[in-house]
């Protein structure tokens, strides 16, 4: 049995006339008759009653007609589904997130991606960098976003953007009225920082910044995430150095000011994914992400 025989039979069953069915299929009537006869021989069933006056479906033909429609419908759906999957139009995208990127870039990129690929199911999973790397290896994540990620032989890293570090401080602090603040002015201020045990954590970069002034940060509190850090700043418990994306988090009593220091104080946001992963959904998301970054760069360079 061939797929084309199913199409031929459906045409005859719907037209109940071999001439009209042949015209519909753009084949000769004799060729159509041979194909229907071959189909009946293959399945050992009479599907059509035909004489010089009429063509009618037998009970077996009626049943076969409905099954043939379903089979062709399933084949059409399978073909369309495969096409969508191969082009990244359908599938699942599991994204690992951590820190301030969820306050800025990720929602903007996701809005654009889901608009262009509405049939892709997207899920977000808060994880630190070590958990993201492990989840990528176990294929529980498609892509992750993080900062200061150490090199891994099986994980690709792609810089998404670099952004300056900002100072979060209480609006009651005497320096809150300044347009910008130099790190040298706050060396003795109590700081709310992140755990030192985390590989490549922001606190290591902050310590390097302080070392350029031959100083060490005065650590008042250690927290695990930027939201907690800024909440403590609002409570007057210290200052915090955060990526610019964190300034989208508006909490009572907190202001943000540009932070200058000796040397470079920018921090990168990277995406990470499995090396060699050519899955269409990942490639579609990366294209969206890269295009978004290029447009932002062009907008920033515009006069």
Phi then psi for residue 49, to 5 deg, are: -95, 120
Domains, the chain, in order of start with CATH, read 3-86 (1.10.10.10), 91-160+269-301 (3.40.190.10), 165-265 (3.40.190.10)
The pLDDT of residue 302? 56
Q: Which of 15-29, 245-259, 288-302 has the lowest mean pLDDT?
A: 288-302
What is the 8-class DSSP label of residue 184?
Answer: G
- Which among 300, 303, 302 has a CA at the least distance from the CA of 162? 300
At how many degrees (to 10) do helices 59-86 and 3-15 cross?
130
Higher confidence at residue 61 or residue 94? 94
d(CA 90, CA 76): 16
* Mean pLDDT, range 178-186, rounded to an integer: 93
Confidence band for 264, pLDDT divided at 50, 70 and 90: confident
Grade residue 239 by pLDDT with cuts at 50, 70 and 90.
Answer: very high
Q: pLDDT at position 149, please?
A: 86
pTM of the model: 0.67
User: Which among 270, 260, 279 has a CA at the least distance from the CA of 93?
Assistant: 279
CA distance 79 to 84: 9
Choose the weakest-confidence range: 69-73, 165-169, 189-193, 197-201: 197-201
Say what the pLDDT of residue 303 is. 58
In this structure, of 38-42, 79-83, 106-110, 259-263, the range with the lowest mean pLDDT score is 79-83
Q: How many CB atoms lie within 10 A of CB 101?
A: 24
Average pLDDT score over the chain? 87
Comparing 135 with 15, the larger pLDDT belongs to 135
What digits encode the pLDDT tens for the residues 97-124? 987 878 888 899 999 999 999 989 999 9
Residue 19 CA: distances (Å) to CA of 40, 110, 133: 19, 55, 65
Does the structure show a pLDDT above 90 at 157? yes
Least confident residue range of 72-76, 86-90, 93-97: 86-90
**DSSP result, 69-113:** HHHHHHHHHHHHHHHHHHTTSSEEEEEEE-GGGGGTHHHHHHHHH
The 10s digit of each residue's pLDDT in 45-60 is 888 888 777 888 888 8
Question: Cβ atoms within 10 A of the Cβ of 197, count?
Answer: 8
Structure tokens at 225: 């995430």
Mean pLDDT of 151-162: 92
Give me the mean pLDDT over the 236-253 stretch.
91
């Amino acid at each position: 049995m061939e797929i084309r025989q199913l199409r031929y039979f459906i045409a005859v069953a719907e037209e109940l006339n071999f001439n009209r069915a042949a015209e519909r299929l753009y084949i000769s009537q004799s060729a159509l008759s041979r194909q229907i006869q071959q189909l009946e021989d293959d399945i050992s069933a009479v599907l059509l009653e035909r004489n010089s006056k009429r063509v009618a479906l037998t009970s077996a033909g009626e049943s076969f007609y409905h099954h043939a429609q379903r089979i062709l419908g399933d084949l059409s759906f399978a073909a369309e589904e495969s096409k969508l999957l191969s082009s990244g139009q359908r599938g699942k995208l599991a994204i690992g997130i951590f820190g301030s990127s969820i306050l800025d870039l990720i929602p903007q990129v996701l809005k654009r991606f889901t608009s262009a690929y509405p049939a892709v199911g997207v899920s977000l999973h808060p994880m630190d960098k070590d958990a993201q790397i492990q989840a990528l290896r176990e294929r529980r994540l498609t892509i992750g976003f993080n900062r200061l990620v150490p090199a891994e032989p099986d994980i690709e890293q792609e810089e998404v953007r670099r952004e300056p570090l900002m100072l979060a401080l209480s609006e009651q602090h005497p320096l809150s009225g300044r347009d910008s603040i130099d790190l040298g002015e706050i060396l003795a201020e109590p700081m709310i920082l992140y755990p030192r045990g985390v590989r490549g954590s922001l606190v290591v970069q902050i310590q390097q910044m302080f070392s350029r002034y031959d100083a060490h940060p005065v650590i008042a509190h250690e927290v695990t995430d930027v939201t907690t850090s800024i909440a403590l700043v609002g409570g007057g418990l210290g200052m915090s150095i955060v990526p610019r994306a964190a300034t989208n988090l508006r909490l009572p009593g907190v202001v943000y000011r540009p932070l200058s220091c000796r040397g470079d104080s920018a921090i990168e946001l990277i995406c990470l994914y499995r090396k060699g992963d050519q899955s269409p959904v990942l490639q579609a998301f990366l294209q969206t992400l890269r295009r978004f970054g290029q447009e932002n760069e062009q907008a920033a360079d515009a006069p």
